Amino acid sequence: MTKKRETQPKQTKLPENEKIKSLNQHISDATGENMTTDQGVKINDDQNSLRAGDRGATLLEDFIFREKITHFDHERIPERVVHARGSGAHGVFKLYKPLGHLTKAAFLNDTEIETPVFVRFSTVAGSRGSTDLARDVRGFAVKFYTQEGNFDLVGNNMPVFFIQDAMKFPDLVHAVKPEPDNEIPQAASAHDTFWDFISLMPESAHMIMWLMSDRAIPRSYRMMEGFGVHTFRFINEKGEANFVKFHWKPLLGVHSVAWDEAQNISGKDPDFHRRDLWDAIESGAFPEYELGVQIVPEADEFKFDFDLLDSTKIIPEELVPVQRIGKMTLNRNPDNFFAETEQVAFHIGNIVPGIDFTNDPLLQGRLFSYTDTQLIRLGGPNFHEIPINRPISASHNNQRDGFMRQRIDRGKTSYGPNSLGNNDPVQVKEAQGGFTSYQERIDARKVRARSDSFRDHFSQARLFYHSQSEPEQNHIIDAFSFELGKVKTVAVRQRMVGILSLIDKGLAAGVAFALGLQIPQELEKPINHSIPADGDPADYEPIQVEGKVRKSEALSMKNTIKDSIVSRKIAILAADGVNAASVMAISDAITGAGGIVHVIAPKLGEIIASDNSKIAVEESFLTGASVLYDAVYVPGGKTSVATLEAEANAVHFLNEAFKHCKAIAADKEAVQVLEATYFFDKLPEEFSEETVLAEGIVVEENPDALSDKFIKAIAQHRFWDREKPRQVPA
């Protein structure tokens, strides 16, 4: 009999909220139904077109064939110009405590309300079919269906942006997208045009540090932060305003993969993040994120050494702590990718009373772009009527007609004021919830200019770099070396090394070494050729902070949550003759702690354990790969151990897991499989408690002790310190 290992319970009843109920009205389920044309005529033969004789030409008259092909021919809509590849999920947001003193937004004032949300995570540069594991920014767009209308928080997993003014957005995107002559490379910033642009845009220095950090290769959408990036405003009932920055903090912590691993995953499973999100939700391991806010009173607007309106700057959490105000839980997968994830239309301009914009020039530009892009992408002005985009609150106005209008507006009047239709729909007074813009006082000249307060491009880039742990800094140096190494124009590489020297000399030296270059003595100035106002070279000198290295703990992933293995995937390498008891013991312990276990064997089907029981195999060495798992365990059982020791794929699996700094465990009886690896000789002689913590390698006889230590090691996520001194040629 096949032994059943416990797997995650399959979700049976899907959670429903107000938005889901409204979507359900549009759901079509063909189970048991007749096949018809779009006009409802029953179809008798869907296999053959209508022909003049069984070997003759197809007849134009065949309306069934024509309808089918015509619809098919028109199935694609333009992909998003950026953020084309994405994955969506439904969920709910619940507030921890009322925020009336800060904002009058109803969904931020009532802890009883469960606000439905739809989230779309995305990469930026690649096309719809590109790999999830590209080095890239991740979009983190949340649509809150509040009782007062839709509020869209259209953010990223990095808190800053490349440019300060929306005027430069098309340039940035043209530079990063595949080069126009040959459309190479796909979903990659490692090419000449991107770095040419960046090397001429010193304002991108801070963002580039994030992009070259491990934040750009997340382990999962469930393990990355989200940021609203811009400074917004909260407005309370009294009309008082506070500046606010939005954050999403994942409850599983912030974790990444290794760059070499990311590149491998792109081949083994380009849908890695999409699948991970889908599977987690299906299995009931719902992704959770806390919404955080940083609040700055209006009076403190000029208190910082950066401008709150500059999207290339963070407010360090040490200066203004992030207050966690509520939790979002993603608890339901979409029913249909196209209808929901592809057709969802986010817009930074979708706000509700109690929330307002600031004059951040990047934010202001986005206010135009999102509606404009939906008009072309979704084919006209009625995209708000697509089910996924409809608010749960009623909507009435005098907007009419246009392509694909769904609503049938009754009555003679579609204008206001009117007397023929009772002057409906009526405007709503502010006190009754009508939106009014914050009355910001303005006294300014109309100019095309960049504020002087936007000019320091390097202090926060340096703050970021200096806040990283040593392995994280090494990864940044490696990432620059890789990306610039792919740049063919040496002058661009050289200019970039110059820019890096303004951030940190060690960083620049490390990258220069890998590129076979020197740090330039004289920097090319003005660095930015396109903004005449950038003239003064002094603007580019590093700002000294009293000789001290400034750091911010929140910027390093080293300090993230490391106490859970929920939804982590663990591979058990086994073959016939494996010790079933140890497989079961470790499986039970891991699934008990919320992890997922897969048995990987030389072939699919079942393996026969030493006690003659059968164990189901999830993947073979052909279909599975270490890069798709978080940790690996080798159980005992003489024949199994002998098979694996001689199986190159099993040894490679372990070598690669070691290379990517993952937790590895083995039954004492299986240690000879480890001995066959490249790394075994480099390990300390004894596997003590300290070895486990430092190395992430557990070898034990007793299954309880083994699973206990192994689970702690998996929760650490990665043992990056293992990396540099003992590289593995896997």
Binding-site ranges for ligand HDE (CB under 6 A): 80-83, 86, 120, 122, 139, 141, 154-156, 161, 166, 169, 229, 311, 346, 362, 365-366, 369-370, 373-374
In degrees, rounded to 5, the angle at the alpha carbon of residue 667 between the alpha carbons of residues 663 and 673 is: 80
Q: Specify the residue, 14 or 167, whose C-beta has the smaller distance to ligand HDE.
A: 167
What is the C-alpha separation between 159 and 148, in angstroms, rounded? 27
| 250 CB-side CA count, 13 A | 25
Query: Least distance to ligand HDE from the beta carbon of 19, Å?
Result: 17
H or E element in which residue 324 lies: strand 323-332
- 652 classed as catalytic: no
CA distance 224 to 216: 10
Measured distance between the N- and C-terminal CA atoms of the chain, rounded to whole angstroms: 37
392-400 long-range contacts (CB < 8 A, ≥24 apart) are 392/18, 392/19, 392/22, 392/116, 392/145, 392/146, 392/147, 393/146, 393/147, 393/148, 393/149, 395/149, 396/424, 396/425, 397/425, 398/425
- C-beta contacts of 24-28 below 8 A and 24+ residues apart: 25/387, 26/339, 26/387, 27/335
Between 344 and 511, name the residue whose CB sits nearer to ligand HDE: 344
State in angstroms the smallest separation of the CB of 460 from ligand HDE: 16
Question: Least separation, in Å, of the C-beta of 389 and ligand HDE?
Answer: 11
CB of 155 to ligand HDE, least distance (A): 5
* 149 vs 228 by CB, closer to ligand HDE: 228
Distance, in Å, from the CA atom of 267 to the CA atom of 261, rounded to the nearest integer, reads: 10
Which of helix, strand or coil describes residue 187? coil
Pairing of strands 355-356, 288-297: unpaired
CB of 344 to ligand HDE, least distance (A): 6
Token code pair at residue 500: 């890096």
The smaller minimum CB distance to ligand HDE, of residues 59 and 81, is found at 81
Of residues 152 and 539, the one with the C-beta less far from ligand HDE = 152
Closest separation in Å from C-beta 161 to ligand HDE: 4
Tell me the residue nearest to ligand HDE as measured from the CB.
Answer: 139
Q: Nearest approach, Cβ of 324 to ligand HDE (angstroms)? A: 20
The smaller minimum CB distance to ligand HDE, of residues 137 and 217, is found at 137
> Helix 580-592 to helix 703-715 angle, to the nearest 10 degrees?
40
- Distance, CA of 396 to CA of 387 (rounded, Å): 16
The candidate with the shortest Cα–Cα distance to 157, out of 248, 243, 85, 277, is: 248
Of 148 and 152, the one with the shorter C-beta distance to ligand HDE is 152
- Which of the following is catalytic: 17, 150, 156, 389? 156
Angle at CA of residue 574, ends 252 and 566, nearest 5°: 10
218 three-class SS = strand
For residue 317 the two structure tokens come to 């959490």
In 3D space, the residue among 314, 316, 317, 310 whose CA is nearest the CA of residue 363 turns out to be: 310
Residue 216 CA, distance from chain mean position? 9
Q: Which of 83, 191, 347, 466 is catalytic?
A: 83
Kindly tell me which of 96 and 368 has the beta carbon lying closer to ligand HDE: 368
Q: Cβ of residue 55: shortest distance to ligand HDE, in angstroms?
A: 49
Confirm if 116 and 84 have CB atoms less than 8 A apart.
no
For the bound state, the minimum distance from the C-beta of residue 123 to ligand HDE, rounded and expressed in Å, comes to 10
The length of the chain is 730
Check residue 721 and report its DSSP letter.
G
Largest separation between any pair of C-alpha atoms in the chain: 91
Residue 264: CB minimum distance to ligand HDE, A = 26
> Which residue, 169 or 482, has its beta carbon nearer to ligand HDE?
169
- The least CB distance from residue 229 to ligand HDE, in Å, is 3
In the sheet with 596-601, reading across from the earlier edge strand, the strands are 619-620, 596-601, 569-573, 631-634, 663-667, 697-700
Of 223, 217, 227, give the one whose Cα is nearest residue 187. Answer: 217
**Beta-bridge partners for 495:** none
Look at the alpha carbons of 510, 512, 518, 522 in this order and tell me if their dihedral is positive or negative.
negative
Please give the helix or strand (H or E) that residue 243 lies within, else none: strand 241-250
Q: CB under 8 Å to 544, separation ≥6 — which residues?
A: none
- 526: cis peptide before it, omega within 30°? yes
Least distance between ligand HDE and beta carbon 708 (Å): 41
CA atoms of 172 and 192, how far apart (whole Å):
13
Nearest approach in angstroms of CB 349 to ligand HDE is 10
Which CB, 83 or 90, lies closer to ligand HDE?
Answer: 83
**406 Cβ contact list (under 8 Å, min separation 6):** 382, 385
Which residue, 377 or 562, has its beta carbon nearer to ligand HDE? 377
Q: Return phi, psi of residue 635, to 5°.
A: -80, 170
497 vs 477: CA distance, rounded Å: 11
DSSP character string of 99-161: -TTT---GGGT-TT-EEEEEEEEEESSS-TTS-TTSSS-EEEEEEEEETTEEEEEEEESSSS-
| DSSP classification of residue 213 | S
Kindly tell me which of 155 and 471 has the beta carbon lying closer to ligand HDE: 155
Q: Give yes or no: 156 in active site.
A: yes
Closest to ligand HDE by CB, 80 vs 709, is 80
What positions carry a catalytic annotation? Answer: 83, 156
